[in-house]
Structure formats: structure tokens, C-alpha cells
Chain A
Amino acid sequence: QSVLTQPPSASGTPGQRVTMSCSGSGSNIRSNYVYWFQQLPGMVPKLLIYKNNQRPSGVPDRFSDSKSGTSASLAISGLRSEDEADYYCAAWDDSLSAVVFGGGTKLTVL
């Protein structure tokens, strides 16, 4: 069981906007930054979002995140077939003194 909870799957059609949630607690999401990673099939994870909706160079602004209390969400607008991947949220947990990951959401582009 992951400390952060993500829905196992999500789907959308090209051009659509999809969101996926990440639920945690006061010791992780509420207190610390949330990070989002994208893992394309057969590939290494890639940092997608960091520190309050910041994107590394090369990540399109179609990707954005938000946080409220103990939950965070990743939004992808203008969905494209190449967005089909696993998405993971992560945060530092003050109680565990550890990074905690969500179980991941598999995004299917229909």
C-alpha cells in the first residue's frame, strides 16, 4: 500500500483535458512540495512537475498541477497519444523522513 493514493487508471481522447489525483496527508502533501513523474512504456521516469507547478525545460505547458490541503492533481490539456504513460506523484513525508510515491496512474489515450 502506497502512502500517497492515486487512481490506478485514467483515460481520455485526443484533445481532451484529463486530471488525475494524488491523495496524502498532513505530513506529506499538506506540508511539502508535490512532484509528478511521467514514465513512458519501457522508459525511465522523467520529472514532469516540481515545486508548485514548475516544469523542467522541455515539458510543455499542457501539463500543470494544483494542490489543496492533503490532495494534489495533475492536469493534462490538449491530450495527445504520446501522453499515454504511467504518472506518479511523490512528496517528502515529515513523519517518515522519507520520500513517498503514489502507486501510479496509467493513462490511456483512446
Chain B
Amino acid sequence: EVQLVESGGGLVQPGGSLRLSCVASGFTFNDHYIDWVRQAPGKGLEWVGRSRNKANTYSTDYAASVKGRFTISRDDSEKSLYLQMNSLTTEDSAVYYCARGYCDKSGYVGLDSWGQGTLVTVSS
């Protein structure tokens, strides 16, 4: 069974940093993309960033709103993806989901499995 479990959320002051983790199980981790998507309370989904698979040299992309502040890294040996968040503002308060970007022989298919999310609250 495919599972993604996020952790690391919590309360942080504006300007602070936080590192989120996403641990995967039930699939070959380096064959697929992993995205971070966030959702502020009562709001819609906002894409944060992506780590592609080994076949795509683990390249990353970020939303403009987080570029230069957030960094995605992955440890295939631990089947884990990390989101390092720096210079946090109140606008970054949200539930952060990691989601698998399933890839088959023809390439990227879609975000087919999502974790339960971890809540980040940026407040003084």
C-alpha cells in the first residue's frame, strides 16, 4: 500500500525556519516525483514545489511565492523528502501535503497519492 507520512509541522515565529519531512512506503521511491502542496485554513490548494525522479536527475521546481526561501531535498536511502522552509511569514501558514507524482513508462501521470498533511502555523 502506498503511504506518505508528513511530519515536522508546528508553531514558528515570523522570520523563523522549519523543516518538514515526508516518509514514503509501498513503492519504489526514486521512480516517482514528489510534490509539496499546501492549503491555508479554509482556502484552496497551492502548489509549493516538486522533486522529480531519478530518471529526471531529481530536478526541482518551486512556486514563485517560495522560491529562494524553500528548498526541497530527498534521501532515497531513507525514502524521504524534505522541505526546508526559511524566512517564514504568516502567509506560509497552512497544512502542507506531500503527494506522489506517479510516473509510468510514458512519463508523469499525476499526483495520485497524498499524505495526511502537517500543519505549519507562523505567528508571533
Contacts and interface: CB of A to CB of B under 8 A. Distances in A.
Nearest to B113: A47
Contacts of A29: none
Interface magnitude class on chain B: 20 to 34
B110 interface: yes
A51 B97 contact: no
Contact of A44 (B109, B110, B114): B114
Nearest to B35: A99
A67 B51 CA distance: 28
Interface residues of A, number: 23
Interface of A is mostly: strand
Interface stretch (B9-17, B40-48, B75-83): B40-48
Interface in A73-110: 86, 88, 90, 96-104
B121 to A, nearest CB: 19
30 contacts: A2-B44, A35-B110, A44-B97, A44-B116, A44-B117, A45-B97, A45-B99, A45-B111, A45-B114, A46-B114, A47-B110, A47-B112, A50-B109, A51-B109, A51-B110, A56-B110, A88-B45, A90-B47, A97-B61, A98-B62, A98-B63, A99-B35, A99-B50, A100-B47, A101-B44, A101-B45, A101-B46, A102-B44, A103-B44, A104-B44
Contacts of A47: 110-112
Contacts of A86: 44
B109 A45 contact: no
Interface of A: 2, 35, 37, 39, 44-47, 50-51, 56, 86, 88, 90, 96-104
Nearest to A2: B44
Given A50-B109, A101-B45, 10 more contacts: A37-B45, A39-B45, A44-B114, A45-B37, A45-B97, A45-B114, A46-B114, A47-B112, A50-B112, A51-B110
